[in-house]
Structure 1
Amino acid sequence: MSKIQNPILPGFNADPSIIRVKDTYYIANSTFEWFPGVRLHESKNLAQWNLLPSPLSTTKLLDMKGNPSSGGIWAPDLSYADGKFWLVYTDVKVTEGAFKDMTNYLTTATDINGPWTDPIKLNGVGFDASLLHDEDGRKYLAQQTWDHREYHHPFDGITLTEFDTTTMKLRPETARTIYNGTNVKLPEGPHIYKIDNYYYLFIAQGGTVFAHQEVVARSKTLDTLSFETAPGDPFITNFDTPNHYLQKQGHGSLVSTPAGEWYYASLAARPWNHAHESSSDPRGWCPLGRETSIQKVYWDEAGWPRIEGGHGGKTFVDGPKDARITKVPADHSLHDNFTHPTLDMNWNTLRVPFSEAMGTTGNGQLTLIGRGSLTNTHDLSLIARRWQAFYFDATVKVKFNPFNYQQMAGLTNYYNDRHWSFAFITWNEINGHVIEVSENNRGNYTSYLKYDAIKVPAGTEYVWLRTKVRKESYTYEYSFDSKNFTEIPVTLDAAILSDDYVLQSYGGFFTGAFVGLAAVDYSGYELKAEFSDFSYKELGDKLLADGSYRWDASESRFD
């Protein structure tokens, strides 16, 4: 029997909603403020996964202009019934303060690759909405319920509302609270399954941090507060397994194989610590974001689902007996010559789709039109892809001729509008065209080179920029001939590009680090930058004593 190595979807791939249609498995993941919305993968064996086109690829289906960081698409729900795929998704417009203004939508498709129907507005009661397709033909929307009142807990249980397939609208008069969670609080991410005369409700609790967990409750009806919580430990958690390779497991969904085996796909994270830090406090930093893991499930004598190997889960999991070969690339490395008129599926933009207002791609070149700064949530020329390994190099060739310091173009490592770094070509009063490295940390901007910025020799047409990510830290390099690279003497802390770091200062943030290409011209003259020959090369997830890298995973974070 083959083994599945976790995480199955490395890098920022949170809140998995997994289903099987015949012999093919599909996973939908949250994308938050990144466009296109909802990330889809498919597999025949639960171990190897191929990226599919994202369903929310037009502004008719999703327009997030102005959305706050970590707003947007929260915990989509993918299901299959009546010969078509059903996708429920939430667009969150307010994240800070007492309110969580949001809208839940529904779209369907007969083919996973689309086209997807125009969105149907459902409600704004709460996020993490999912559909139950009951055996009698009825359909219900289960969702977290948000309460803004400062004298109530904001997580007001799980609400269930019947969905009328004739009108394609919810029936609000049928809404009832079916579960309030346990004393761990923060019940969210509901998924309901009808199995052997029971409705099983899977619920995330404890917040999506190191105390995260998933619990299971069941009932023979869908009546108000009729669900009973499984006895004993949580279904899955790493709160009490601090040395495990995987952490934060919880929010996820259940799937069965054709042969009748059961698996649970969950968000997960892989933290590391700086050498001077305790391994338990802080438990660590996760710049790769919340990834997707999978665990095998068995049913105990009382009919409750349990995780094989205990509620902490495993790094290596027994694969399905009926697994089929799935051809996938060796890793997530990408070499993009920008030869096509559309961007590769691995590229993402912020809040809105890539368009002529932002730039063009094709014929071996990406042209970005200088727009707002990297702090801008409305007007930004940036394309980026996920960090998906602890060690990688990313390189790009840039042509840019700025005439003022408000113009910048280059390579960025980006978490959100308040946390990023940027190696870029710009202009200053001393040397004209120069290379600078800057960082935005909790909204505080730092230029590292200032008037010692690296002078670009007169007559130089192209500059090559490279970032070298080495797990706990990363650097930038430059070259004027594509062969001889010089390291810029600035070493940056990768922890700053993690949920864990951002959460220390404000809000709830849920994404992960990206590496990308950006052009800024906040002077408003819309100066263009030309990019070509981009390379993202993964090296592995472990540094060896001889200085080489390899892919490795173990049951312990500290082997």
Structure 2
Amino acid sequence: MSKDLIRNPVLRGFNPDPSIVRVGEDYYIATSTFEWFPGVQIHHSRDLRNWRLIGRPLRRPSQLNMMGDPDGCGVWAPCLTHADGRFWLIFTDVKRYGRTTVGGASGASLRDFHNYLVTCETIDGDWSDPIHLNSSGFDPSLFHDDDGRKWLVNQLWDHRPGRNRFAGIVLQAFSVAEQRLVGERKVIFEGTAIGLTEAPHLYKRDGWYYLLTAEGGTGWGHAATLARSRAIDGPYELHPDTYLLTARDRPHAPLQRAGHGDLFETADGETYIAYLCGRPLPGRGRCVLGRETAIQKLTWGADGWPRTLDGSGDPTLETPGAGLVDQPWPTTPVREDFDGTTLPIDFQWLRTPYPETIFSLTARPGFLRLYGRESLGSVFTQALVARRQQAHCYSAATRLDFEPAHFQQAAGLVCYYNGSKLHYLHVTHDDEAGKHLRVMTCTPDSPQADSFTAPIPLGAGPVDLRVEVDFERLRFGFRQAGGDWRWLPEVFDASILSDEATAPGAPNFTGAFVGMACQDMSGMATAADFDWFDYQERDYVAQWPA
């Protein structure tokens, strides 16, 4: 078997909406981060097989403030390009999406999408403060034409009754001198019959403008659609096969939800597409790993259209590499000891651009201190620091030093999707049980919004908390004072931590996280200290310890 194979997905676990750019020998992929701060993940590779996370550019309050952004909102669909000696990053900050009341549809068509541009001369430098471009829709993309002009394309949102909400792809010129959009906007593509046309990217080849879009929604009907025109403002003709890549008619394909892509060329002129995909749990149809990023090689036909290598349009688990020398990155350690003064790069938090209000790595050196803030699910100041689940089977654990005084104070280990989908093994206190341990579960598809296991009394001092996940099975354990692990008897449903487990109309586009949380709903900001955090991906375990 050839070693020069790209094995998909290349970015595992909640890395959707890829935008890819090559600068010399270096490839960079930007992906959406939604309500997680800092904003936009950027991965780096030199061989298209091995990727590592190198940074998140939206990290200052002046660049991004998502406090109040609902679940599933925040940073959508970044577009990363390189021109004129600098990197250009376009993104949407979504402030409102979908339903506003539980069980109702008040204002469901009214949505707020603000599109911004930031730039930087280096990929890992301090990016500029944002320039507001427009708010007419989402998924903006910047195209640098070979005549020096720059154009913005984005999805156009239409809230009016009886209209197609996905009202097409609009084009408008961007003036570098004026740092704003100029001229009139024009709808250049209205999409195909499956609708939900979004995620536009423009390219130019042999005198043709190619427009790549995503359609069919970001679930099982997702597809990448291609059209072309001799003029940038159209009219655009569809690809003879309509869809460049999709799994919408392949229910048993290992990669599902394929769409929202970006074309790119290697230094040798070979064409590939980076696109989002999902890997459902076997037999469950839920993607707890969220939407991930895959790469696939394309070939150009005599008719001037690209296709997958076999012409089927199917997403594949493997694709030929580009003949580049293998350049693996160092393996990430299982344990994070929190001995540094900055948060390890795999971890993020929710919404706030003021991390000092929710955690510290210096208040107690060698520990991550979380300051108890608002409840789990708050869209403002929530002390939750977590990392992505990137495999169907994993083990995670942490050591917690926390002495709560009453029932409004809690801290522990959380498996989290959003405020309505989580499993939370936490330490708290009440007059009846004293200091104790229990699990709170929030489920979106149950008549009861949350449930609690029976309290387990704990002694004073630190406690180790552990979770084992095997596909849809999730189990918690704990130990104190170097004792043996004790396992809670309940087996929890890990599949609720997925896009597909949802109430109708709710935005669900992220993925499962595992991490640490602390609440103090009395407002006293009582702190919880976490000594270390382990995360290890592993093979399936058929039987867990009793």
Q: Using a 3 Å threshold, how does the CA distance of structure 1 residues 85 and 472 change in structure 2: closer, same or farther?
A: same
Aligned position for 2:85: 83
Counterpart CA distance in 1 for 2:236 and 2:543 is 55
Partners of 2:10 and 2:294 within 8 A in 1 = yes
Shift of 1:273: 3.9
TM-score (norm 2): 0.94
In the other structure, the counterpart of 2:101 is none
Q: Cα deviations across residues 474-518 of structure 1 (Å, max 9, x unaligned)? A: 11100003451111112111111100112x433221000000100
Q: Is 1:311–2:310 an aligned residue pair?
A: no
Question: Is the 1:333–1:538 Cα contact (8 Å) retained in structure 2?
Answer: no
Give yes or no for contact 2:352–2:381 (8 Å, CA) kept in 1.
no
CA contact (8 A) 2:471 2:495 kept: no
How far apart, in 2, do the equivalents of 1:40 and 1:47 lie?
Answer: 15
Amino acid of the structure 2 residue aligned with 1:68: P
Say yes or no: does 1:227 pair with 2:236. Answer: yes
**Structure 1 runs not aligned, ≥5 long:** 278-283, 548-559
Identify the range of structure 1 (531-540 vs 178-187) with the bigger mean alpha-carbon deviation. Answer: 531-540
Give the CA deviation at 1:397.
0.3
**Partners in 2 of 1:84 and 1:498 — Cα distance?**
37
- Matched ranges for 1:422-433 at <5 A: 422-433=424-435
Match of 1:99 in 2: 110
Q: CA deviation at 1:333?
A: 5.5
**Whole-Å Cα distance in 2 between the matches of residues 415 and 122 of structure 1?**
31
Partner SS for 1:501: coil
Q: CA deviation at 1:53?
A: 1.3
Structure 2: which 5+ runs fail to align?
A: 99-107
Secondary structure of the corresponding residue to residue 235 of structure 1: strand
1:497 matched residue in structure 2: 497
What letter matches 1:240 in structure 2?
A: D
Letter in 2 for 1:201: L
CA distance in 1: counterparts of 2:457 and 2:335, whole angstroms:
28
Which residue, 250, 266, 270 being the options, matches 2:259? Answer: 250
SS of residue matched to 2:258 = coil
CA distance in 2, matches of 1:197, 1:519: 57
- CA, structure 1 residues 545+445, in 2 after alignment: closer, same or farther (shift >3 Å)? closer
Paired residue for 1:292? Answer: 293
Q: What is the match of residue 538 of structure 1?
A: 537
Partner of 2:474: 474
Q: CA deviation at 1:79?
A: 0.2
Q: CA deviation at 1:63?
A: 0.4
The DSSP-based 3-state class of the residue aligned with 2:501 is: helix
CA contact (8 A) 1:49 1:326 kept: no
Out of 44, 47, 63, the position equivalent to 1:45 is 47
1:214 to 213, 221, 224: 224
Q: C-alpha root-mean-square deviation of aligned residues, in Å? A: 1.6
Q: In the alignment, what sits opposite 1:554?
A: none
Counterparts of residues 362-373 of structure 1 (less than 5 Å): 362=362, 363-373=365-375
Larger CA deviation: 41-50 vs 345-354: 345-354
Distance 1:48 1:482, change over 3 A: farther
Q: Look up the SS of the partner of 2:268 in the other structure.
A: coil
2:518 is equivalent to residue 519 of structure 1 = yes
Deviations 1:163-201 (A, max 9, x none): 011101101x33111100111101100000011110000
The alignment partner of 1:532 has SS state of: strand
Q: Distance in 2 between matches of 1:545 and 1:303?
A: 51
Cα–Cα, structure 1 residues 11 and 165, in superposed 2: closer, same or farther, change >3 Å? same
Q: Which letter maps to 1:199?
A: Y
Residue-by-residue CA offset, 1:244-273 (whole Å, 9 max, x unaligned): 111111101011011111110000000024
Paired with 2:313 and 2:541, the residues of 1 have a C-alpha distance of 31
1:28 to 19, 27, 30: 30
What displacement does 1:546 show?
9.7
Q: 1:104 to 1:235 in 2, by over 3 A?
A: same
- For residue 353 of structure 1, report the CA deviation from its aligned partner: 3.4
Mapped contact 1:10–1:388 kept (Cα < 8 A): yes
**Matching of residue 182 in structure 1 with residue 183 in structure 2:** no
Q: 2:194 aligns to what SS in structure 1?
A: coil
| 1:147-186 → structure 2 map (5 Å cutoff) | 147-171=158-182, 173-186=183-196
Q: Which residue of 2 is the match for residue 55 of structure 1? A: 57
Aligned-pair distance for 1:431? 2.3
> Separation in 1 of the partners of 2:197 and 2:242?
16
- Partner Cα separation in structure 1 for residue 209 and residue 321 of structure 2: 26
Deviates more, 1:415-424 or 1:473-482: 473-482
What is the correspondence of 1:257-406 to structure 2 with a 5 Å cutoff?
257-274=266-283, 284-309=285-310, 310-321=312-323, 323-330=324-331, 334-353=334-353, 355-362=355-362, 363-406=365-408
SS in 2 for 1:250: strand
- The residue that corresponds to 2:213 in the other structure is 203
Paired residue secondary structure (1:356)? helix
Q: Secondary structure at the match of 2:187?
A: strand
Query: Cα offset for 1:525?
Result: 1.9
The DSSP-based 3-state class of the residue aligned with 2:519 is strand
Q: What's the counterpart of residue 550 of structure 1?
A: none
Structure-2 change in CA distance of 1:545 and 1:494 (3 Å): closer
Which whole-Å CA distance do the structure 2 matches of 1:546 and 1:152 have between them? Answer: 53
**Contact 1:233 1:311 (8 Å CA) reproduced:** no
SS of the equivalent of 1:211 reads coil
Write out aligned runs for 1:66-81 (5 A): 66-81=68-83
Deviation per CA, 1:445-494: give whole Å up to 9, x if none: 434323xx11102xx31100001111111111000034511111121111
8 Å CA contact retained: 2:470, 2:541: no
> Per the alignment, do residues 329 and 242 of structure 1 end up closer, same or farther by CA in structure 2, a change over 3 Å counting?
farther
Secondary structure of the corresponding residue to residue 303 of structure 1: coil
1:509 aligned onto 2:512: no
Contact 1:436 1:447 in 2 (8 A): no
For the 8 Å contact 2:226–2:242, the answer to whether it is kept is: no
Which whole-Å deviations, capped at 9, do the CAs of 1:324-363 have from their partners, x for residues lacking one? 3322244x55411111111011110101135221121142
Count of matched residue pairs: 529
Q: State whether residues 404 and 428 of structure 1, in contact with CA within 8 Å, keep that contact through their aligned partners in structure 2.
A: yes
Q: 1:448 aligns with which of 447, 452, 459?
A: 452
Instruction: Return the match for 2:129 from 118, 129, 153.
Output: 118
Change beyond 3 A, Cα 1:506–1:486: farther
- 1:428 Cα deviation (Å)? 2.3
Quick one: distance in 2 between partners of 1:58 and 1:194? 35
What's the offset of the Cα at 1:104? 0.5
Query: Which residue number corresponds to residue 555 of structure 1?
Result: none
* Amino acid paired to 2:47: N
- Cα distance in 1 between the residues matched to 2:241 and 2:369: 57
Tell which deviates more after alignment, 33-42 or 428-437. 428-437
- Pairwise mapping of residues 131-150 of structure 1 onto structure 2 (< 5 A)? 131-150=142-161
Tell me which residue corresponds to 1:556: none
Q: Distance in 2 between matches of 1:329 and 1:194?
A: 37
Secondary structure in 1 matching 2:302:
coil
Equivalent pair of 1:474/1:494 in contact (CA under 8 Å): yes
Distance 1:91 1:546, change over 3 A: closer
The farther-off stretch of 242-251 and 11-20 is: 242-251
In the TM superposition, what whole-angstrom CA distance separates every residue of 1:349-392 from its partner, at most 9, and x where no partner exists? Answer: 10113522112114210111111110211121110100001111
Distance 2:473 2:149 in 1: 52
User: Which of 433, 438, 450 lines up with 1:436 in the alignment?
Assistant: 438
SS in 1 for 2:500: helix
- Find the aligned partners of 1:454 and 1:544 in 2 and give their Cα distance: 26
| C-alpha separation in 2, matches of 1:473 and 1:420 | 14
Take 1:539 and 1:316, find their aligned partners in 2: how far apart are those partners? 21
Identity %: 40
